[in-house]
Structure 1
Amino acid sequence: MITNVLKSISIRGRIVYAIMCAEKYVSTKYPSNAWKLVFKPFWEICESETWDEWSDKVLEYIPEILLEFDNYEISDFEHLPKQEYEQIKKLYKNTDKNVNTILYNIRRIELAYSYSSISGIGKESLDIIEEIVKILEKEKIKLPDPQQVAFSKFTEKNGWGEPFDGKNLSVILEN
């Protein structure tokens, strides 16, 4: 089971694995070059030291939040530029609810531990990833290999993990 492998991987590594799952989902179900706009801010977690800023930023790229507003002017977005807003809004128009669920769950991993410490093995993050994995399995989408993030150890920085350059793990940013 994937979660057994992820137990020894840092929270940062787990978030990256969840991002890899999200990329796999959207690139399989909705192949489009426009996904770079969505995933670029998500991948910033790899090198970020201020996770609350990252969390605030990616929130604006989650379908439910982005589509909540009729237009950009009333959105009050701080991080999402208007041109990207328009492009991503069109991109999300024909996607299923799983895209929102997966992207929101990535943010939930960070929220589970924000302003606190990680207790035990960080079970809540493993449960959230399991939800993401079940969506991919239900859609018969091959899961990314969790060994790709195994270098980011749970023993680093009290479970948070050291920053790293993760761009090479993305199937969307490399295109």
Structure 2
Amino acid sequence: MLGFLISLPCWGSALLAPFQEPENPDLGALQAKLAEPALGDRDWRVSVWEHLTRLEHVGDPAVLQGWEALAASGADPDLANLFLFQRRQGLPRLPLQEGEGPELTLERCLAAWGDGDLAETARRLRAALERFPEDRRLQENLLWLEMRRPAVIELDGSGRHLALAVLAARDARG
């Protein structure tokens, strides 16, 4: 009887093992990369980024640390990726900074849209277009928000561009 009681925990863990999630190899690799940061090394950065994109929905603090490590470069796309991760995870977002680039500016606009604040989204998109007038993503997002068709319909444009033209024209007819 005593032998049975002693072996019971072993049997229990053997029965539960198939139901436990296996260790994610990307998480282990990311943690190893973060343990020996090489922020200036392009290969290190690419490897960390690849692991992070596969770990987007893993609730581990190492994922946030990875995005923060990449954003330490101060590069606009890296800051935008960190902001996007924070937004998707419901975390406090990067504070507004002077001289933000077009990537982070666009993410801030889309965050306002995602929060359902359409007036703020329109205000941010217009302000962003004053700073980055050639950025087509900002232009097209404002057109989508206001359901206005583009001034020129590019026949070889993206499906999104053509869909906007059709929807805006249909909406204009009532």
Q: TM-score, normalised by structure 1?
A: 0.26
Q: TM-score, normalised by structure 2?
A: 0.26
- Bigger-Rg structure (1/2): 2
* Higher relative contact order (CA closer than 8 Å, sequence separation 6+): 1
